[in-house]
Structure 1
Amino acid sequence: MAGEIDLDLVRTFLTAYRTRSLSRAARELGRAQSTVTAQIAALESELGHELFQRRPTGVVPTTRADALAARVARPLDELEEVLWAGRPGTDDHPIHLGGPAEYLSHRVLPRLDEILGAGSRVRITFGLSDPLLAELSAGGTDLVVSAIRPRLAGISATPLVDEEFALVGAPRWRPAGPGDPADPRRWQGVPVIAYAEQLPIIRRFWRTVFGRRPAEIVPWAIVPDLRTIAAMVVAGLGVSVLPTYLVADDLTAGRLVRLADPELPPLNTLHLAVRTGALDRDPALRAVHAGLLRIGRDPAAVSP
């Protein structure tokens, strides 16, 4: 190396290294992709060796890039944290959290004050996992509670909580006498309320618990909101498969009963996703992330 290296080139390198994509690095840094490409090329020229191998789906770091990232990531993140804290108007930037409406509304938002630090604000977006993760990758959201395990480059995810699902209904829908819940005759005349036409939640429960598809199920109502379905089921309008955290109090009070009691109930793991490296740079985001994990893993909040 002939002279000093611009720290901005190192910052661009580290962002590209973490996102595994020049285009994603450009979006995160707020620059044109051509600028990011030129900066990476300039750093490679200064160092005298290649840092990335270009691929159609992104970039693959070389072993020398791995070694460089291991040396510069921590000090650069600490420097950015100091500089970020001194920026005017930082407190005016809300943390953008996305995720399923049911989980956020029932488990997170009532305890939001436990998560946010002094001066922090939050903006909530309800939605499905795929578009929210795409928005996270593009820099539009800061944290996403995802019902699927993210596999996008530049996105890190931590298991948050295991959702347990149960087939529930008002006591009036409990079958009289013993019998196999998987027997299609048990469900003749029973109104079933589903989340979608394809019965995604019910189908998974049937296949996991009964070992087959719910071919006999013709939903009486399609309602794309689990909170509303829970209210309808409590009102005695039908039966459905729901996450137990939505109906735990109703099960305890006897307003609802389990219509099947599998030894191993179906589980779905929610993940908490964030852009790789973002927690190191932003202490407010790090605090919210830690608070969400704390709530997700709180034994007192786990449904029976």
Structure 2
Amino acid sequence: MDLALLRTFVTVHRAGSFTRAAALLGLSQPAVTSQIRTLERQLGRPLFLRQARGVTPTPIGDELAHKVAPHLDALMEITEIGLDEESSVRTLHIAGPPEFTAERALPALTELTRDDGQSIALRASFGTAEESVEGLAAGHHDLAITTARPRGPLLTATPLCDEEHVLVASPRWAARIGSGALHRAAAPSLEKLPMVEVHESLPLIQRYWATVFDSRPAVSGTVVVPDLRAVLACVITGAGLAVLPRYLCASALEQGEVVALLDPPVPPLRTYFLVVRTGTLASPHIARAHEWLLRAAVDWS
């Protein structure tokens, strides 16, 4: 049986779409459709059910994918090892949220480029979780860091680390609020104050209020800027209150530039996931980066 047909079949099975599989394989959609039909004729069984949006594998299709995918991934690994021996540099494309990627992932991967015996060149893209996952699925990235676990067999997600959120303000605002007011009626007291956020929907403030106060904030953003590092800078200058990841504001807290207004017994957490296309960990440079980030993340929680 033609291995190219099986490779196309496994890609369609993981992608759930002829169109997406074509993009991953660098083929036209008619070519992918033709290869699947050829394989179905050879087997005498339908492998996919065509639907309005993508395809669903038949029981025979699922069985075949389960049997052949590990062997095709192993062949890919052999090929990639050979390529690594011929080329001294492999390029790794990573996507993720700008702050976390810049402050944590890229510094860790930069250590990999210095310390690893085989050189890795880095290319980073910033975007939302949805944008990063879509780019990964389309083959534009090798790794993606997201705050949402993607569904479906095309992508494989591994929990990377948890991020603690802290309600912070400048010392001037903290002094004006007073600890007594916070302990008596925290949410109403805070909602009278200016808020700094990354989006009009106040995603971090909403999550904090739901977890700590069991309520929804009746506020709107006074300053909205789409980068948490800029949010921190605005808070330091006294623009208002904000909810920030502890790793991002740890230095400012230590230096007294901002103050943590509350210390809840159960602080809000957000989980990051390290996502790859299923089967691509057979590529040594992707596998090394994946393992390296998981090791580094042990110290990030």
- The match for 1:113 is 110
- Kindly report which structure 2 residues correspond to 1:118-133, keeping only aligned pairs within 5 A, or say none: 118-133=118-133
Whether 2:35 is the aligned partner of 1:33: answer no
Output the amino acid matched with 2:296.
Answer: I
**Residue in 1 that maps onto 2:157:** 157
Query: CA 1:273–1:183 in 2, change beyond 3 Å: closer, same or farther?
Result: closer
Asked whether the equivalents of residues 191 and 219 of structure 1 are also in contact (C-alpha less than 8 Å), the reply is yes
Among candidates 42, 49, 62, match of residue 45 of structure 2: 49
TM-score by length of 2: 0.88
For structure 1, list consecutive stretches of 5 or more residues without a partner in the other structure.
none
In the other structure, the counterpart of 2:281 is: 279
Alignment partner of 2:210 out of 207, 210, 213? 207
Structure 1 match to 2:250:
248
Query: Counterpart in 1 of 2:197?
Result: 194
In 2, Cα distance between equivalents of 1:224 and 1:181: 30
Q: Which moved more, 1:148-157 or 1:136-145?
A: 148-157
Aligned residue type for 2:63 = A
Name the SS for the 1:139 alignment partner. Answer: coil
Deviation at 1:37, TM superposition (A): 1.2
CA pair 207-125 structure 1, distance change in 2 beyond 3 A: same
The alpha carbon displacement at 1:103 in A equals: 0.2
Distance verdict in 2 for CA 1:159–1:183, change over 3 Å? closer
Give 1:75 deviation, angstroms.
2.3
Q: Distance between the aligned counterparts of 2:173 and 2:187, measured in 1? A: 15
Separation of aligned partners in 2, 1:186 and 1:54 = 54
Unaligned residue ranges in structure 2 (runs of 5+):
none
1:100 Cα deviation after fit: 0.5
Counterparts of 1:290 and 1:81, CA distance in 2:
16
Aligned residue number for residue 225 of structure 2: 223
> Matched residues in 2 for 1:69 and 1:177: separation?
60
Percent of aligned positions with the same letter in both sequences?
A: 42
Cα 1:177–1:87 change in 2 (3 A) is closer
Quick one: which amino acid aligns to residue 188 of structure 2?
P
Matched AA of 1:207? A
C-alpha separation in 2, matches of 1:141 and 1:18: 16
Residues 12, 18 of structure 2: 8 Å contact kept: yes
Matches within 5 A, 1:51-200: 51-87=47-83, 94-116=91-113, 117=116, 118-151=118-151, 154-174=154-174, 175-179=177-181, 180-188=184-192, 190-200=193-203
One-letter identity of the residue aligned with 2:234: M
- Contact 1:192 / 1:219 at 8 angstroms: preserved in 2? yes
Moved more, 154-163 or 178-187: 178-187
Q: Give the 3 Å change call, closer, same or farther, for CA 181–98 of structure 1 in structure 2.
A: farther
Moved more, 217-226 or 249-258: 249-258
Whether the aligned pair in 1 keeps the contact of 2:97 and 2:146 (CA below 8 Å) is: yes
User: Shift of the alpha carbon at 1:270?
Assistant: 1.4
Bigger mean CA deviation after superposition, 147-156 or 88-97: 88-97
In 1: Cα distance, 2:269 partner to 2:250 partner: 15
CA offsets per residue over residues 2-29 of structure 1, 9 Å max, x none?
xxx1111111111112222221111111
Cα RMSD, aligned residues only? 2.2
Q: In proportion to residue count, which structure has more helix?
A: 2
Maintained 8 Å contact 1:114/1:291: no
Distance 1:269 1:278, change over 3 A: same
1:239 aligns with 2:241: yes
How far did residue 244 of structure 1 move?
Answer: 0.8
